[in-house]
Amino acid sequence: MTDLPSLRLRPKADAQRIRHGHPWAYLDDVVADRRSRALAPGSLAVLEDAERSPLGLAAVNMGSRIAARMLDRDPAAIIDARWIETRLRVAAQLRDRLYDAPFYRLIHAEADGLPGVVIDRFGDIAVLQPNAAWADLRADDFATALQALGLRHVLLNASGRARTSEGLDDASRWLAGGVDAPVEVPMNGAIYLADLTGGQKTGLFYDQRPNHAFVARLAEGARVLDVFSHVGGFALAALAAGATEATAIDGSAPALDLALGGARAMGRSLITRKGDAFAQMAALAEDGETYDLVVADPPAFAPAKPALTAGLRAYERVAKLAAPLVAPGGTLTLCSCSHAAELTKFRAACIRGIGRAGRQAQLIRTGFAGPDHPVHPQLAESGYLKALTFRLLP
How far apart CA 67 and CA 240 sit, in angstroms, is 46
The answer to whether the beta carbons of residues 106 and 61 sit under 8 Å apart is: no
Q: How does pLDDT run along the chain (394 residues), one tens digit per residue? A: 568 999 999 999 999 999 999 999 999 999 999 999 999 999 999 999 999 999 999 999 999 999 999 999 999 999 999 999 999 999 999 999 999 999 999 999 999 999 999 999 999 999 999 999 999 999 999 999 999 999 999 999 999 888 999 999 999 999 999 999 999 999 999 999 999 998 887 889 999 999 999 999 999 999 999 999 999 999 999 999 999 999 999 999 999 999 999 999 999 999 999 999 999 999 999 999 999 999 999 999 988 889 999 999 999 999 999 999 999 999 999 999 998 999 999 999 999 999 999 999 999 999 999 999 999 999 988 899 999 999 999 9
Overall size of the chain counted in residues: 394
Please state the φ and ψ torsions of residue 45, each to the nearest 5 degrees: -150, 155
> Using CA atoms, how far apart are residues 239 and 233, in angstroms rounded to an integer?
10
What is the rounded distance in angstroms from the CA atom of residue 312 to the CA atom of residue 78?
44
Closest by CA to 230, choosing from 63, 207, 179, is 207
Render 16-53 in DSSP notation, one character per residue: HHHHTT--EEEGGGB---HHHHTSPTTEEEEEE-TT--
- Nearest-angstrom CA–CA distance, 209 and 196: 18
User: What is the per-residue pLDDT for 11?
Assistant: 96
Please check whether residue 44 is in contact with residue 59, taking contact to mean a CB–CB distance below 8 angstroms: yes
| Neighbouring residues of 262: CB distance < 8 A, sequence distance ≥ 6 | 190, 191, 192, 193, 231, 232, 236, 270
Q: What backbone phi and psi angles, to 5 degrees, belong to 23?
A: -90, 0
Rounded distance, CA 47 to CA 50, Å?
10
Burial code of 40-73, b = ≥16 C-beta within 10 A, e = fewer? Answer: ebbbbbbbbbeeeeebbbbbbbbebebbbbbbbe
Residues designated as active site? 337
Is there a contact between 161 and 116 (Cβ–Cβ < 8 Å)?
A: no
Q: What is the pLDDT of residue 2?
A: 65
> What is the distance of C-alpha 356 from the center of its chain?
30
The CB density around residue 313, as the number of other CB atoms within 10 Å, is 15
Run of H or E residues at 145: helix 139-148
Enter the pTM of the model.
Answer: 0.95
Amino acid at 261: G
Cα 159 to Cα 176: distance, rounded to the nearest angstrom = 18
DSSP calls for 225-255: EEES-TTTHHHHHHHHTT-SEEEEEES-HHH
Q: What domains appear along the chain, each with residue ranges and CATH number?
A: 6-72 (2.30.130.10), 81-176 (3.30.750.80), 184-392 (3.40.50.150)
Which residues are paired to 186 by β-bridges? 191
DSSP secondary structure of 338-389: -TTS-HHHHHHHHHHHHHHTT--EEEEEEE---TTSPPPTT-GGG---EEEE
DSSP state of 30: B
Q: CA-CA distance, 370 to 103, in Å (whole number)?
A: 13
Instruction: Return mean pLDDT, the chain.
Output: 96
- Cβ-contact 131, 118 below 8 angstroms: yes
Angle (deg, nearest 10), helices 209-217 and 233-240: 40
157 close to 202: Cβ distance less than 8 angstroms: yes
- DSSP code per residue over 70-110: EEESSTT---SHHHHHHHHHHHHHHHHHH-SSSEEEEEEGG
Closest of 15, 40, 16 to residue 29, by C-alpha: 15
